[in-house]
Amino acid sequence: MVKAYGGYYKDIFLRSSYEYAYALYLDEIGIKWGYELQNFRLSKKVYKPDFFLYDTDWNLLKIAEVKSESASERKKASEYKKQMKDIHNIDVKIVTLETLQQLYERFFQQSVQSMEKESTGDLASFWIGEKNRTSGKSIRRKPC
């Protein structure tokens, strides 16, 4: 899956196709979510998580951080996960390409790569279409 694409989904600018795939998954299974809604102070950094996952009453269940295949990015995410639990008592789930593949295979019965290859599939047609690709900073919106 090409992770370099950024674009809008439900009026929210997502920074990568991994984030788009995760947002689509959350909607498909009925999880309420918000994107980059809040900053948290950690020991040496201010951290802005990707996804905030809520129960049906809008109580925060956990945070999900979508990461690339980069070992250094995963290492940073693991440290943020530990500090978020220690300092703020909030659980963080790290979502990687492998995580997305497992979720898609289990719930959609197809892999992330095969969905991208289908020229008429939701992910490929929506995400790779020129009119939906954009660049820039994320836009903060209310939770979905």
We report the CATH number of the domain holding residue 39 as 3.40.1350
Q: Which residue segment(s) compose the domain that 128 sits in?
A: 7-132
In a domain, 144, yes or no: no
Task: Name residues whose C-beta falls within 8 Å of residue 134's C-beta, 6 or more positions apart in sequence.
Answer: 6, 7, 8, 13
Model pLDDT, residue 5:
66
In a domain, 27, yes or no: yes
CA distance 29 to 59: 17
Listing DSSP states for the chain in one string gives --TT--EEETTEEESSHHHHHHHHHHHHHT-EEEES---EE-SSSEE--SEEEE-TT--EEEEEEE--S-HHHHHHHHHHHHHHHHHH---EEEE-HHHHHHHHHHHTSS-HHHHHH-TTSHHHHHHHSGGGB--S--------
**Domain count along the chain:** 1
In a domain, 71, yes or no: yes
For residues 100 and 25, is the Cβ–Cβ distance under 8 A?
A: yes
In a domain, 85, yes or no: yes
Tens digit of pLDDT at every position of the chain (144 positions): 444 567 888 889 998 888 988 998 999 889 999 999 999 999 989 999 999 999 999 999 999 999 988 889 899 999 999 999 999 999 999 999 888 888 888 887 655 555 555 434 444 344 434 344 333 333 344 455
Residue 138: Cβ within 10 Å count:
16
In a domain, 139, yes or no: no
Q: Which of 81, 99, 105 is closest to 91 using CA atoms?
A: 81
